[in-house]
Amino acid sequence: MKLAQKLNEAAHAAGKTLRVLIEINVGGEAAKSGISSDSEELYRLLAEAPRLANLELRGLMTVPPYTEDPQGARPYFRKLRELREQIAGRGLPRVCMDELSMGMSA
């Protein structure tokens, strides 16, 4: 929430609106940033979206845990898609869930 507020203030000062994705730590890895998919912080951010006038919450992003087998990433991608559908189904004001960014460099 603190980062969202800082981004909103900076965008306001610049006279811009930022399109942002919420990073979700689907693997629960300590080495990666992002909000846990079941955290209160995520739902507080979504509830506060109408007050963040210079941010457009467009969707979710994640980087899954590394596996040798690329198929090992599928459950994490599926989990993020399901979370996006759950959030989109709530019909929250100023929350659009039309984008997903799911990837890894390997």
In the structure encoding, which two tokens stand for residue 70, read together?
A: 């690329």
As averages over each run of 10 residues, the pLDDT of the chain (106 residues) reads 96 97 93 91 94 96 89 92 95 94 76
Q: What is the DSSP string of the chain?
A: -HHHHHHHHHHHHHT--EEEEEEB-TT--TTS-SB-TT-HHHHHHHHHGGG-TTEEEEEEEE-PPP-SSGGGGHHHHHHHHHHHHHHHTTT-TTEEEEEEEE----
| pLDDT at 106 (0 to 100) | 60
| pLDDT at 92 (0 to 100) | 93
Q: Which CATH architecture has domain 2-102?
A: Alpha-Beta Barrel (3.20)
What length does the chain have? 106
What are the domain boundaries of the chain? 2-102
Contact 92, 46 (CB under 8 A): yes
Q: Name the β-bridge partners of 57.
A: 20, 95
Task: Read off the pTM.
Answer: 0.90
